Every structure is written in structure tokens, then in C-alpha cells.
Amino acid sequence: MNKQTRKYDVCVIGAGPGGISAALAAARNGAKVLLVEQNGYVGGNLVIGLPLLGYLDKDGNTVTAGIAQELVDALAERNATFGHRWCPMHNSVTLYDHEQLKIILFEKLLEANVEMLLHANVGDVNVECGKIKDITVCGKGWQIDVEAKIYIDGTGDGDVAYLAGCRYEKGPDNSGKLQPPTLMCTVADVDVSKLHDFIEKDPEQMVLSETTEVYPGYDADYFRASPNHVLVGMRKMFTELREKGELPVARDTLIYINSVVDGEVHLNCTRHAGIDGSDVFDLTRAEIEAHLQIPKLVECLRKHMPGFENARLTQIYPFLGVRETRRFAGIKTLCEKDILEGTLHEDSIGLGSYIIDIHDGAGLSTIVKKIPPYGIPYGVTVSRDVDNLMFAGRCASLDSVVMSSARVMPTMMVIGQAAGVGAAMAVKNDILPADVDVPALRENLIQAGVLMEAIKK
């Protein structure tokens, strides 16, 4: 094994929306930053065929900007996004070209002087006197010991915090009942206009479960008006197919995400109950199951779904999408009551407002509830157990219901950006993240375009 030791101000582990924003923000605020990522590209779930959800609230007001908006602006410059569109179901939808975003992310990270280590997985975390002394990162026969002043966990599952022995919960009330993962795929040669004609003739296809709150107008006319849409529906057909034993997935609706490429849609449809996405054995089982489920699903859609007669599988994304695993204890935890009431905390570092969106791990359906914009306190990014550890992403200190809303990628970027600035301020002032001057942090974020109040449409 080749060995090396490297020193940084801030080490961010995991280059998803949370980790990337943290790395960019920390570097732009003067910190020497290393970003460690297990894949050969950056982006995490930003590059697996999903739409960006969460820029607008239920009334169409803007709630998310900062780095999250900077990326959409960069995509727009390349004609690689349809921009934001209000949606009666998801509040807003922002479709974009995922391959272009991969390139943009590398460019932004290089411009900000973020050092990167790809194909590298965190192997061990060495805690001394309540602080991480170093972490061991492994890849291709190398063991690299990284010594940093602050560590930011952006791994989604909180692998660093887990290895550091921090307290965490899984599922509502720590029940372990997790939202199921999904393996995303893309199909080409689809004529969505045929499906829109079909649902116009049979609107019952768009009636969703009783637990799904959706505003009027989520119908054929809405889908036809712009390619910038995500369709969740066809429950009637899915129920009939399931009853006949012809549906290979245990879910009650089709979810297609329209692509920026004509005739192509991304499918968010496989579902794997009882899987813990932070367990390597479960992950292995689910990846295999999902890869074998996808061709059956495509065949089923070709046979029954109007517009999908010629559908052709063109891509299976490189890893299973994991919705929910560990959530770690922070110096503050954001709870369901706060987001239902739309509390704007004095120590908010930005806003969330995406619907409560819980995919039932045991059943077939989804709980969807509209909520007002809410503030995200700085303390959700700061570990309660390890003094120099912060969170950027869905492993932050959010209860399970809050996580179901805040997990959308633009909101993850808001949390990541705040963690990055907080880390840089802690380094600059030689203090712990918990002692950062939060009003000064908020001012810094506002100067960088982050919204602390919604902008009315």
C-alpha cells in the first residue's frame, strides 16, 4: 500500500449537491479545501436523471438562490436547462442536461481552487479528545491520511460521522422504516403527447392516492404547455396491471421526468422495500434486483402505456438512488412542527419549502403535503458529538419528516453552502464551527445571493 499524508483547512467528503456547495463556499471564503469523492465524476444525485425541485414555493415565490441558482445560470448560458416552472404537484420543476452539469461542476471547483481526490473512499476516521485528528482515504492501492481543521460530511449517508461514532437516527422516531431507494433509468423513442391525449380522455388516470396533496391543474393541458414537467400519475392503470400480476414494480404510479432531449424520459420507478442504503449488503441486493426489474418495467410500459410503444432503454444510472438513511445529531435539529408553521429562525442560513414528500417504505404510495417556506438553522450543519465535524446534505440534523422536504437538491445546496462558509469562518478565526458568529455568517450568505425570505413572484 502506498501511503501519504496531506493537510488542509477543510476536507469535504462526498461530492453531491451538499458536498460540492460546501467545498465551493469554503474555498471561495479563503480555505484550502480537499473534496473527496468515491466516483470518477462529481455531482452525486445531481447527475442521475432527476429534476431540480425546490426553487419555488407552493405559491410560485422564489425561495432558493445562491450556489443552487448559480448552477442553473451556468446551465442556461449553455442552453442546457428549461429554467424554473411552477408545478401544481412539486411546487416547481427545473429540468436540465445532466452531462453538461458534470462539466460545469468541475469547472466551478477548479475555478475556486478546490483540490479533488476522485475514486477515493473514506476508510477510517481517527477521533481524539472529541475532534477528528485525521481520516484515512483509500483508492487504487493508496492510503492517504488527510489532516484537516474542519471535516464536512457530504456523503449522504454520513459515513464520516458514522465512523467517528456520532449519534444518529434512521427513519421516523428512529424506527428504521426508511423510504425505499430507486434506480433511475432513461428511455428514448417515447411520444409523451400520446400519453397526454390518453389522460385527457381518461382524467381518472391522474387521480392520486388520498395521501397526496396536489393543486388543481395537474393535467394534460399543464403537461402539453411545456416540456419542463414531471408526470406522476397513471395510478388507475398501474392498479389494474398490478391486480393482473403484470406490473413488475411495487408502486402505485408512473413517474417520468421529461428530458431536455426530445423523445427521451427519465424513469423514477423501481422501488426496493426493506433496503437500508447505508448497508453494503442491502445495497448489493437492491442494485441487482433493480437492474433486473428495469427491463421488465420497460417491457410492461411498451405493452401498456400510450406513447411508450417504441420505448428503448438507453441508460441505467451508475448507482441506486438512496432517499433516506442516517440523520445525525447537530447542535440544533430542525423538526416537523417548524416546517409546518414556516418558522423563520434568527439563525436561519437559508430557506426550504419543498413539499413533505415521503415515499412509503412499506406500502406502494407517497405522502405529499404542501408547506410554507421555512428557515434552516445553522446548527443543523454542526455535529453535537465531534467538535470539528459538520454536515452538508441529507445526513444533517433534520427529523425524518423535515428530511423528506429538505432532501431536494437545491435545498441540499443551501445547507452545503452554509456549512462551507461556516467552516471557512471557523478556520479563519481559529474557533470551532459551533462558535461561529451566526449573524456574520448570514450576512456573508446574503452577499452571496442566498435568500433568507421568499421573493414574491
Ligand X SMILES: Cc1cc2nc3c(=O)[nH]c(=O)nc-3n(C[C@H](O)[C@H](O)[C@H](O)COP(=O)(O)OP(=O)(O)OC[C@H]3O[C@@H](n4cnc5c(N)ncnc54)[C@H](O)[C@@H]3O)c2cc1C
How many residues touch ligand X under the rule CB under 6 A: the total is: 36
Q: How many angstroms separate the CA atoms of 419 and 380, rounded?
A: 9
The torsion angle over the Cα atoms of residues 344, 349, 350 and 354, rounded to 10 degrees, is -80
Q: Which is nearer to ligand X, 38 or 400 (CB)?
A: 38
Q: Report the SS3 class of residue 371.
A: coil
- 179 vs 306, beta carbon nearer ligand X: 179
- What is the smallest separation between the CB atom of 161 and ligand X, expressed in angstroms? 11
Shortest distance (Å) from residue 354 CB to ligand X = 8
36 binds ligand X (CB under 6 A): yes
Taking the complex as a whole, the smallest distance from the CB of residue 202 to ligand X amounts, in Å, to 26
Q: Is 265 in the site for ligand X (CB under 6 A)?
A: no
From 44, 233, 420, 422, residue interacting with ligand X (rule: CB under 6 A): 44
**Sequence-ordered list of residues with C-beta below 8 angstroms from that of 78, at least 6 positions apart, any chain:** 97, 100, 104
* SS3 state of residue 397: coil
Distances (CA, A) of 430 to 127, 296, 390, 423: 19, 56, 16, 10
Sign (positive or negative) of CA dihedral 279, 284, 287, 289:
negative
Does residue 276 bind ligand X (CB under 6 A)? no
Minimum separation from the CB atom of position 52 to ligand X (A) = 5
Residues in 402-421 at the binding interface with ligand X, rule: CB under 6 A: 407-409, 412
| Residue 39 binds to ligand X (criterion: CB under 6 A) | yes
Contacts (Cβ under 8 Å, ≥6 apart) of 137: 13, 36, 117, 120, 121, 122, 123, 143, 144, 145, 146
How far apart are the C-alpha atoms of 426 and 429, rounded to whole Å? 5
Q: Which is nearer to ligand X, 84 or 394 (CB)?
A: 394
From candidates 10, 31, 37, 108, binder to ligand X by CB under 6 A:
37
Applying the rule CB under 6 A, the residues between 8 and 27 that interact with ligand X are 13-19
Residues pairing with 2 in the sheet: 142
Instruction: Name which position in 59, 83, 121, 177 contacts ligand X (CB under 6 A).
Output: 121
The answer to whether 122 contacts ligand X (rule: CB under 6 A) is: yes
Binding to ligand X (CB under 6 A): which residues in 144-173?
A: 154-156, 159
Residue nearest to ligand X (CB): 16
**CA–CA separation, 164 vs 51, rounded Å?**
33
330 binds ligand X (CB under 6 A): no
Q: Does 228 bind ligand X (CB under 6 A)?
A: no
- Answer for the pair 322, 181: CB distance below 8 angstroms, yes or no: yes
Q: Which of 25, 28, 38, 353 binds ligand X (CB under 6 A)?
A: 38
Q: Which is nearer to ligand X, 306 or 382 (CB)?
A: 382
268 binds ligand X (CB under 6 A): yes
- Which 170-189 residues touch ligand X, going by CB under 6 A? 181-182
How far apart CA 43 and CA 153 sit, in angstroms, is 15
Beta-ladder partners of 115: 34
CA 291, CA 190: separation in Å to the nearest integer? 21
Q: Please, what is the minimum distance in Å from the beta carbon of residue 346 to ligand X?
A: 25
- Please answer whether residues 34 and 12 qualify as being in contact, where contact means their C-beta atoms are separated by less than 8 angstroms: yes
Q: Which helix (H) or strand (E) holds 391?
A: strand 389-391
Among 45, 91, 383, 397, binds ligand X (CB under 6 A): 45
Q: Does 333 bind ligand X (CB under 6 A)?
A: no
Binding positions for ligand X, rule: CB under 6 A: 13-19, 36-39, 44-45, 50-54, 121-122, 154-156, 159, 181-182, 268, 321-323, 393-394, 407-409, 412
